[in-house]
Structure 1
Amino acid sequence: MNKSTLLFLGLTILLGCKQSNKEQKGNQFSELLKIKSQIFIEKDGIKFRDLNKNQKLDIYEDLSQPTEARLENLLSQMTLEEKAGIMFINGAPVSKDAKPDGNFELTGPAARMPSIVENIKTRMMTHFNIWDIPSEPIIFAKWYNNSQQVAENTRLGIPITIASDPRHHLGKNVIGMASSGFSQFCEMPGFAAIGNEELVSEFADVVRREYMAIGIREALHPQIDLATEPRWARISGNFSEDADLTARLVKPYINGLQGKSLKDGVACMTKHFPGGGAQKEGLDPHFSFQKGQIYPGNNFNYHLIPFEAAFEVNTAAIMPYYGVPIDQTDENVAMSYNKTIITTLLREKYKYNGVVCTDWGLITDVPFGPDVIWKARAWGVEDLSDEERVFKIIDAGCDQFGGESRTELIIQLVSKGKISEERIDQSVRRLLKQKFDLGLFDNPFVDETKVTEIIGTETSIKLGEKTQQISMTLLKNDNSVLPLSQNILKVYIKNIDSTTVSNYAKIVTNPEEADFAIIRLNTPWYPVDTNNSFAASFHHGDLDFKGGKKEHILKLLKTVPTIVNLYLDRPAVIPEITQLAASVIVDYGSSDKSVCEVIFGNVEPQGKLPFELPSSMQAVKNQKN
């Protein structure tokens, strides 16, 4: 065979491959995309979404092009206003009629938010987090698809990214997150109590599938702060006080959520760098009564260990916390304003090049109720103007502003020459890359017909119940009273559903008539004296029962052998209760049914305490945060 023949055959094979690739590229679009996309076209045998509506295949619209080429092509077409829009993420209300600007009828933070349509069109924003949602997930899926149609009809068709805080936990200290319809698991300390990496991975995979089914593609979690201060109000969102245990469990969590590639996963925004657990007296820096994190044991680096694990598995984003790292850097300013924290430590030491997004509300004072102004969490830089705050956060090395919509401030800073557009482009590249990696430019829509098949399946529900049950920790069991015998005992109950308990034992109304009492309790907390209702809802304060409530509990324990079940959203101080109770068993977010399954012996509790329980409040006050 001569060289000409070989060349001809080679070209034929090559052209055949190219044709196959073209056909394959055209066939990557699903029937769903044809139905949902309003800009889906076919030209010269190629199917694509004409995002900028110019009737030709731009590089950024071309699935066959490398991500780097696609994002640079898109970046070159973006105006400064569009770049500013992508650097903000704020809340958006979800309507009950699934229309992006429809019938809201909401309460809470979302009730004060502009519709997603307004933010897309007037501020060119493309990132949103959601709080309250309709009880039926399918309504959210429809709202999401309708919102993506609004986004694709903008000038460049940049898709939106929807983010959410956790929604898959059965706990009593989940603030503002509607969980209706989703599978319900124990809270994060429960997973630390079990300590099983495979189970964490299974849980994260359920969250991934259920989020993706309705269009949530960014998780504002995991939260991997260490519970080194037992009074802190946000411990239920963490794994434990143990850095090594937390590091071991965060890897399967992130891998399970992000999937083998982000195209089939949910981007994790791991928080709160460099660790938010060291709060003075446990008071949370959401609020002005606590602005600093203290390290009296010189253990700043201990809190970094879980984040080092998150970097190893390529967490897609990082969120710093509100607090000031007191005397740990060259200036006492909050984490997102702190160049030593974001640039020197995160960017340079750890070589982190993913998205860094501030926690919510660092720039703008906002009304929070009729007589309350919620001050921006600009701790350490309170005297700076809003524009100066934005400058300092960008200069520190952050990419995105959480809970803010002040796009005009970036435009002003660039127009005045205080920040270069090249610096803005650095952050926009990271944010665009995440959207491309998630596959949102190719097909952002979800199949509404599949929602009920994916969310709340029997398998997922059973797995969630399993975690609620086996995570429970048995602290005391005098004379092996547990498990209780079923159907032969008379029980007096308090704070637990009678219909549920009646499936296991006969219920009596007088403790003197009972063989045993079963009482469910929550870890005590005492609200801060404030006129801010949100601050007053945080579980701050002492960890022990006091006064009449304590005496009422102890009276019951002295009257009848009592099984005490305590929900630990923080460590509790319960020495008198432990001494008098027949049995003490703690949970980390469990239903009444799950508690009964353990108490009556159908499931064996397997959990170990993920944090120590203090012996007294004096011990708490004497310890190092």
Structure 2
Amino acid sequence: MKYLFLTYLSVFTLLSVHAQKEKMPYQNETLPINERVEDLLPRMSLEEKVAQMRIFHANIGVKSDEKGRLELSDRVIEKLKLGIAGIKNPGEHISPLAAAKLNNELQKYIIKSNRWGIPALFVTESYNGVDAEGCTKFGRPITSAASFNPELVHRVWDVVGKEARLRGMHMCHSPEADIVRDPRFGRMSEAFGEDTYLTTQMVVNAIKGVQGDYEGLGNGTHIGAVAKHFAGYGQVLGGSNFAAIEISPRTLIDEVYPPFEAAVKEARTLGIMASHGDLNGVASHGNPELLTGVLRDQWSFDGYVVSDSNDIARLYYFMKVAESPEAAALMGLVAGIDIDLYAEDSYAYLPEMVKKDPSIEKMIDRSVKRVLRTKMILGLFDNPYIDIKKVEKEVRSKASLALAQEADLESIILLKNEGNTLPLQKSNQKIALMGPLLNEDTKAAFESVAGKSTTFIADKGFELTDQNKGVPNLLHTDEATIEKMVGLAKESDVTILFLGGDEFTSKEAFFNNALGDRATIDPVGAQDELLMKVKALGKPVIVVLKHRRTLSINTISKEADAILDGWDLSELGDSSLAKIIFGEVSPSGKSPVTIPRSIGQMPFHYSMKEINFKKGYLFIENGPIYPFGHGLSYGKFEYDNITLSNKTITPTSEITVSATLTNTGKMKAKEVVQMYLKDEIGSVTRPDKELKGFQKIELSPGESKTVSFTITPKMLEFTGVTMEKILEAGDYTVMIGTSSKDGITTKFRLEK
């Protein structure tokens, strides 16, 4: 393969020639964006337009040589002659500084290589911060959801936006606005949990943060968000990636759509990604009712819609709803998809298709306008390059690392604390740190927090899988390994077991040669056996859970003296866990999911219809292990004195509900005060209850505070028999409490 090497001199020469050209209206940054777009579009050839509707991955030939110079494959050189909508992940495996330099060179080349100097979008993703080398690693989205702190999420994603822009990125295919309710699904941790309201608050703040409250886009400090996967993707049948999605129209409107609607209307997301799947039999990538009717006609979305990986082409060869690749391309275009991600057998056919049917070009123009508009909003026509001097100073800064730990400390959930096992004292004792989720630096992190008076011994013991990235296999753990670990626990005063799952037991099941979903949700391998044998020693056992999907932790819940649930924390996660274990900070996380006893209970989210809770199952205890919103504290919180400003609400009025929260414990702590509403009688069957508000409150020992929530008519709306949003007169119960199960209640009435 031949490669092109660009020198700084050649780039400078090319840019000098380009600069001598007279500016055209679309290059005039003082003109309104729409005028600039309307000036540029008619100048472009059909082939140039279609190029602005395609994104390719940098792994087909964008890299730097041993001296850091841009190196392009012949394939990439050919693609860039006409320009391109964007490139996914250029420079993802090199340092932020090296990536910034590479992406500046790449952008210069792209601008010069196409006739109109149209820059490209460089695109990343964000699951643990920017998914690229050398950036701050934050906890995963579902971890941050456990914080129940939207302002904190905003600050985290603000850093994500800044760090991504500094390495030369412009958009991220994140956050996920999906509702995840099936823990068999391997991508569960990429979203914000099972609840519509919680997910909406987190998604809105993630988008506002990563986009710099929108102002950061044009200022060149932040990147654009692409909320995904529209719609229903988190609820594939059987939890199996690429399976069908069947969600009732009422549930779609009332529970699945709201995070996306808020992403568009409130957070002003620049992009939306369509769902891999179908929706009640209609492939999402070929669904004009969804991508145009709902998204644009109802919600007035004016950004671009991007396909998921190769999914327009898959309308033909996978979904089998199109007769040919060309028919699939037309179906995606008609539905409203503006950018084709990766495929060589979809929108690539559009120029030839226009020759046969010229009317198609109007839809192409529509999509290209959206892409060009996005690039202008981001300021790429006017300031397409990164200030290299800022990169090393501002990426992965001390402040960002401190924020990562702050987010950890607010997200860790204390599920159980029998006999006040936690916090541990920093005293003369020997503690065993063991289990398959133990990291190499866990012992050092604990030693730095506990000090010299506490002795630690550490032994990972065994791996859960062979760590095959495609289809991992479970490993057998022999008895000798277990007995060795039990021996270490016997020598110790306390044992902390690091259990759960990792990136190999819960992951994305890519289209080809990969599995990531599970048929059961019990902890894999010898984890329960290890716990039982250590517990039999009669010494305190603390379990730290690390995982990326909800697990049915029956044995852990029964046998452990204390359980801390960390999901997937930041790069400082072990230090954060140690700070909580030794009482430097009280845990304040709340579970963003219902924790079931068995996969057989699914679906099992707390907000199911009331009638779903009528029956339990034979031979299993009724209810979840832990309810949605559950999380204990080192403080002790009591709720009382719930009052309403008025016992009646109307379609044009609001009422306030208040309760007194008191910390009767001995430690300063934070509590997430949750408000749930229940419609007692409805014209359609209604949820058992729905979260409609929460506040995180910090109280010192003995301190009390009145916590108030405003109840609005909007909170009481639902989709009625005629599939229209309605308000119905009747009685409602409001609960304020510590979880979806425990709280104090009062009633009010809606009168019309």
Q: Same fold (TM over 0.5)?
A: yes
Match of 2:548 among 534, 547, 569: 569
| 1:299 alignment partner in structure 2 | 251
2:229 aligned with 1:272? yes
Q: Contact (CA 8 Å) 2:275, 2:308: kept in 1 or not?
A: yes
2:482 aligned with 1:482? no
Return the alpha-carbon distance in structure 1 between the equivalents of residues 139 and 297 of structure 2.
Answer: 37
Return the alpha-carbon distance in structure 2 between the equivalents of residues 192 and 38 of structure 1.
Answer: 50
Amino acid at match of 1:165: E
2:293 aligned with 1:315? no
Given the two structures, how large is their TM-score scaled by the length of structure 2?
Answer: 0.68
| 1:442 alignment partner in structure 2 | 382
Return the alpha-carbon distance in structure 2 between the equivalents of residues 135 and 599 of structure 1.
Answer: 36
Q: CA deviation at 1:338?
A: 1.4
Per-residue CA deviations over 1:393-441 (Å, capped at 9, x if unaligned) read: 0011111111224553011111111652122101000000000111000
- Determine which structure has greater relative contact order: mean sequence separation of CA pairs < 8 Å that are 6+ residues apart, divided by chain length: 1
Q: Contact (CA 8 Å) 2:431, 2:456: kept in 1 or not?
A: yes
Match of 1:263 among 201, 218, 223: 218
| 1:344 alignment partner in structure 2 | 293
In terms of fraction of residues, the more helix-rich structure is 1
| 2:564 alignment partner in structure 1 | 585
Which is worse superposed, 177-186 or 352-361? 177-186
Q: CA deviation at 1:512?
A: 0.7
Return the alpha-carbon distance in structure 2 between the equivalents of residues 358 and 477 of structure 1.
Answer: 46
| 1:8 alignment partner in structure 2 | none
Q: Contact (CA 8 Å) 1:37, 1:149: kept in 2 or not?
A: no
2:499 aligned with 1:521? yes
Q: Contact (CA 8 Å) 2:543, 2:563: kept in 1 or not?
A: yes
2:61 aligned with 1:83? no
Q: Contact (CA 8 Å) 1:470, 1:603: kept in 2 or not?
A: no
SS in structure 1 at match of 2:56: strand
Match of 1:124 among 78, 83, 86: 83
Q: Contact (CA 8 Å) 1:517, 1:561: kept in 2 or not?
A: yes
Match of 1:512 among 490, 493, 502: 490
Query: CA 1:531–1:210 in structure 2 vs 1: closer, same or farther (change >3 Å)?
Result: closer
Query: CA 1:132–1:294 in structure 2 vs 1: closer, same or farther (change >3 Å)?
Result: farther
| 2:98 alignment partner in structure 1 | 139
Return the alpha-carbon distance in structure 1 between the equivalents of residues 489 and 198 of structure 2.
Answer: 42
Q: Contact (CA 8 Å) 1:126, 1:160: kept in 2 or not?
A: yes
| Aligned positions of 1:151-190 closer than 5 A | 151-154=110-113, 155-166=115-126, 168-169=128-129, 178-190=131-143
SS in structure 2 at match of 1:611: coil
Return the alpha-carbon distance in structure 2 between the equivalents of residues 277 and 114 of structure 1.
Answer: 38
Q: Contact (CA 8 Å) 1:334, 1:379: kept in 2 or not?
A: no
SS in structure 1 at match of 2:100: helix
Q: CA deviation at 1:593?
A: 1.9
Q: Percent of aligned positions with the same letter in both sequences? A: 27
Return the alpha-carbon distance in structure 2 between the equivalents of residues 245 and 531 of structure 1.
Answer: 28
Which is worse superposed, 593-602 or 82-91? 593-602
In terms of fraction of residues, the more strand-rich structure is 2
Q: CA deviation at 1:588?
A: 2.6
Any unmatched runs of 5+ in structure 1?
A: 1-32, 42-49, 103-112, 170-176, 327-331, 365-374
Q: CA deviation at 1:342?
A: 1.4
Return the alpha-carbon distance in structure 1 between the equivalents of residues 121 and 511 of structure 2.
Answer: 31
Query: CA 1:531–1:310 in structure 2 vs 1: closer, same or farther (change >3 Å)?
Result: closer
Return the alpha-carbon distance in structure 2 between the equivalents of residues 500 and 487 of structure 1.
Answer: 17
Q: CA deviation at 1:355?
A: 0.5
Return the alpha-carbon distance in structure 2 between the equivalents of residues 469 and 114 of structure 1.
Answer: 49
Return the alpha-carbon distance in structure 2 between the equivalents of residues 179 and 256 of structure 1.
Answer: 19
Amino acid at match of 2:563: V
| 2:577 alignment partner in structure 1 | 595
Q: Contact (CA 8 Å) 1:90, 1:405: kept in 2 or not?
A: no
| Aligned positions of 1:376-525 closer than 5 A | 379-381=318-320, 384-406=323-345, 407-417=347-357, 419-495=359-435, 496=438, 497-503=442-448, 504=450, 505-508=454-457, 510-523=488-501
2:174 aligned with 1:221? yes
Per-residue CA deviations over 1:7-41 (Å, capped at 9, x if unaligned) read: xxxxxxxxxxxxxxxxxxxxxxxxxx999866666
Q: CA deviation at 1:501?
A: 3.1
Amino acid at match of 2:593: F
SS in structure 2 at match of 1:535: coil
Q: CA deviation at 1:297?
A: 9.6
SS in structure 2 at match of 1:272: strand
| 2:523 alignment partner in structure 1 | 545
Return the alpha-carbon distance in structure 1 between the equivalents of residues 511 and 361 of structure 2.
Answer: 39
Return the alpha-carbon distance in structure 2 between the equivalents of residues 120 and 346 of structure 1.
Answer: 31
Return the alpha-carbon distance in structure 1 between the equivalents of residues 54 and 275 of structure 2.
Answer: 17
2:25 aligned with 1:71? no
Q: Contact (CA 8 Å) 2:168, 2:385: kept in 1 or not?
A: yes
Amino acid at match of 2:278: V
Return the alpha-carbon distance in structure 2 between the equivalents of residues 34 and 242 of structure 1.
Answer: 55
Return the alpha-carbon distance in structure 2 between the equivalents of residues 228 and 621 of structure 1.
Answer: 7
Q: CA deviation at 1:183?
A: 1.3
Return the alpha-carbon distance in structure 2 between the equivalents of residues 307 and 363 of structure 1.
Answer: 21
Q: CA deviation at 1:295?
A: 2.4
Per-residue CA deviations over 1:506-545 (Å, capped at 9, x if unaligned) read: 12461111111111122488689x9977522x24331112
Query: CA 1:34–1:131 in structure 2 vs 1: closer, same or farther (change >3 Å)?
Result: closer
Which is worse superposed, 295-304 or 332-341? 295-304
Query: CA 1:304–1:99 in structure 2 vs 1: closer, same or farther (change >3 Å)?
Result: same
Return the alpha-carbon distance in structure 1 between the equivalents of residues 107 and 132 of structure 2.
Answer: 23
Q: CA deviation at 1:222?
A: 1.1
SS in structure 1 at match of 2:550: coil
Per-residue CA deviations over 1:458-496 (Å, capped at 9, x if unaligned) read: 001110111122200000011111111224221111142
Match of 1:202 among 145, 149, 155: 155
| Aligned positions of 1:14-53 closer than 5 A | none
Return the alpha-carbon distance in structure 2 between the equivalents of residues 532 and 57 of structure 1.
Answer: 46
SS in structure 1 at match of 2:171: strand
Amino acid at match of 1:271: K
What is the total number of aligned residue pairs between the two structures?
Answer: 544
Q: CA deviation at 1:226?
A: 0.6
| Aligned positions of 1:353-392 closer than 5 A | 353-364=302-313, 379-381=318-320, 384-392=323-331
Return the alpha-carbon distance in structure 1 between the equivalents of residues 198 and 603 of structure 2.
Answer: 25
2:63 aligned with 1:95? yes
Query: CA 1:115–1:597 in structure 2 vs 1: closer, same or farther (change >3 Å)?
Result: farther
SS in structure 1 at match of 2:204: helix
SS in structure 2 at match of 1:588: coil
Q: CA deviation at 1:549?
A: 4.0
Which is worse superposed, 295-304 or 183-192? 295-304
Amino acid at match of 2:564: I
Match of 1:611 among 576, 582, 593: 593
Match of 1:282 among 239, 254, 274: 239
Amino acid at match of 2:561: A
Return the alpha-carbon distance in structure 2 between the equivalents of residues 129 and 414 of structure 1.
Answer: 27
Return the alpha-carbon distance in structure 1 between the equivalents of residues 419 and 10 of structure 2.
Answer: 66
Amino acid at match of 1:362: D
Q: Contact (CA 8 Å) 2:182, 2:603: kept in 1 or not?
A: no
Which is worse superposed, 421-430 or 488-497? 488-497
